[in-house]
């Protein structure tokens, strides 16, 4: 009689142990692969990010972009309007990358040094549309309105 009562208890214990192990595996795999997005102000306030791979987002400060002639090396500052962070990058820069534009850079943060980026992601406005299409769309809309009024 006692073994009948132990079966449901063993089943629940097994489910709890296996479920906990699966959750632990999922949690550890996500924490190793996740790279969080920080602003330059947040980076300055979090010394625990030193030596870790991080993403920094902000605007490319106007007047700070410097390119080394004959190489793909560039240096610029990322700002969130409060703090600035000097960034160096060696590689092909995205087409949309320019001063005054939103950017996300990924690399290793070392306090007191220039941020060494290994990836640059240029951001664009959410209402992006090629100039040709926008002008053509305006003309088409204008023609349609004029036709409907006649």
Residues 86, 77: contact at Cβ < 8 Å? yes
Higher pLDDT, 113 or 4: 113
Q: Does residue 38 have a known ligand-binding role?
A: no
Stated pTM of the model: 0.61
C-alpha 85/C-alpha 38 separation (Å) is 12
What is the domain class of 34-122 according to CATH? mainly beta
> Where in the chain are the domains?
34-122
What single string gives the DSSP state of each residue in 18-35? HHHHHHHHHHHHHHHH--
C-alpha 78/C-alpha 85 separation (Å) is 5
pLDDT tens-digit series, residues 64-107: 999 999 999 999 999 988 899 999 999 998 888 889 888 999 99
At residue 128 the predicted structure's pLDDT band, cuts being 50, 70 and 90, is low
């Amino acid at each position: 009689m006692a073994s009948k009562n132990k079966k449901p208890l063993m089943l629940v214990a097994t489910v709890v142990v296996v479920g906990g192990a699966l959750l632990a595996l999922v949690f550890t795999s996500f924490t190793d692969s996740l790279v969080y997005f920080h602003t330059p102000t947040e980076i300055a306030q979090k010394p625990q990010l030193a030596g870790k791979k991080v993403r920094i987002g902000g605007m490319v400060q106007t007047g700070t972009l410097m390119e080394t002639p004959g190489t793909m090396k560039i240096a610029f500052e990322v700002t969130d309007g409060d703090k600035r962070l000097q960034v160096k990058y060696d590689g092909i820069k995205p087409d949309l990358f320019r001063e005054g534009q939103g950017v996300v850079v990924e690399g290793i943060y070392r306090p007191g040094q220039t941020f060494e980026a290994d990836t640059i992601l240029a951001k664009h406005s959410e209402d992006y549309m090629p100039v040709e299409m926008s002008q053509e769309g305006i003309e088409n809309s204008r023609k349609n309105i004029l036709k409907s009024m006649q």
